[in-house]
């Protein structure tokens, strides 16, 4: 038996079992080559609808379609072998009701081979999450700042700055967990609230702009690699690939113009 056939992907129950244990390492990826790099280090790869802005240049995630998510989901599954792959359900693909959500989630999982889907929303989405999980579709929840709801929120605003909103956020997380989500992304909330959310639920919380005390962390890959011009405050730049790429492209252009490329080593005799 080859090494490749012995490798088994991380599953939803395995992620769920990490509550209070070694933090879950998660990153986004949208292409096969980047998925291969992430796969060697992460427990979970999210094919986020952030691809609309990061890859396709859209102003927000609202214009992302199911077909786009499937295309990138297929690439990420092909490029990875071990990490669990979760695919975002885009805006408009699940809000109508549980039946609509099931049809689109089943299509996404069937056509990509992903291990789960992720959808945004708290208590209002609990019936949909329960409907999906009872029918064999693992669901990752998402509470706090909801990028798909920025039009109603008035932009990307940190949640929980007013303590009188905490009870609502806590109820959102509890309801999502009790509905069957195997983990919950907690995005863009003040740290004390993120800690309270983590303590309140029985499944792992995956923080992004939240707290180191969450049960795991996720970042947009391009942000942490320094490939985006601007990044939110909560992002640490672990590399500066954008600047390196800019210098490399400038050097290439100069070499072409002064005819130093291609050189003798780059042509066939």
Three-state DSSP at 132 gives helix
Considering 4, 162, 187, 191, which one is annotated as catalytic? 187
Structural domains for the chain? 3-238 (3.20.20.60), 241-269 (no CATH)
Average of pLDDT values for 118-131? 97
The reply to whether 111 belongs to the active site is: no
Q: What angle do helix axes 66-79 and 98-112 make, rounded to 10 degrees?
A: 40
CA distance 20 to 210: 16
Express each pLDDT in 7-16 by its tens digit: 899 999 999 9
Chain-centroid distance of CA 127 in Å reads: 22
Express each pLDDT in 20-66 by its tens digit: 999 999 999 999 999 999 999 999 999 999 999 999 999 999 999 99
CA distance 154 to 29: 27
Express each pLDDT in 185-231 by its tens digit: 999 999 999 999 999 999 999 999 999 999 999 999 999 999 998 88
pLDDT at residue number 236:
94
Q: Which parts are annotated binding residues for 3-methyl-2-oxobutanoate?
A: 49-50, 88, 118
CA distance 6 to 9: 10
Three-state DSSP at 227 gives coil
pLDDT at residue number 1:
45
Residue 6 has pLDDT above 80, yes or no: no
- pLDDT grade for 232, boundaries at 50, 70 and 90: confident
CA distance 182 to 243: 38
Q: Which parts are annotated binding residues for Mg(2+)?
A: 49, 88, 120
């Amino acid at each position: 038996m080859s090494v490749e056939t012995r490798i088994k992907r991380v599953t939803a129950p395995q992620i769920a079992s990490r509550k209070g244990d070694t933090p879950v390492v998660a990153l986004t990826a949208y292409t096969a080559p980047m998925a291969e790099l992430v796969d060697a280090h992460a427990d979970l790869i999210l094919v986020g609808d952030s691809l609309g802005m990061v890859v396709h240049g859209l102003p927000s995630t609202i214009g992302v379609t199911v077909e786009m998510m499937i295309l990138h989901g297929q690439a990420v599954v092909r490029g990875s072998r071990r990490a669990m792959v979760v695919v975002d359900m885009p805006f408009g693909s699940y809000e109508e009701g549980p039946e609509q959500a099931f049809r689109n989630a089943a299509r996404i999982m069937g056509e990509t081979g992903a291990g789960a889907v992720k959808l945004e929303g708290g208590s209002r989405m609990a019936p949909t999450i329960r409907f999906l999980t009872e029918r064999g579709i693992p669901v990752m929840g998402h509470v706090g700042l909801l990028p798909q709801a920025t039009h109603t929120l008035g932009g990307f605003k940190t949640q929980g700055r007013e303590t009188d909103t905490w009870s609502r956020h806590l109820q959102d997380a509890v309801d999502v967990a009790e509905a069957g989500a195997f983990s919950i992304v907690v995005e863009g909330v003040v740290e004390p609230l993120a800690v309270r959310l983590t303590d309140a639920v029985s499944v792992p919380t995956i923080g992004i702009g939240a707290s180191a005390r969450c049960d795991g962390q996720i970042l947009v890959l391009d942000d942490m690699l320094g490939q985006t011009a601007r990044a939110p405050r909560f992002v640490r730049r672990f590399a500066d690939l954008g600047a390196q790429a800019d210098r490399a492209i400038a050097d290439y252009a100069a070499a072409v113009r002064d005819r130093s490329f291609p050189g003798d080593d780059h042509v066939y005799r």
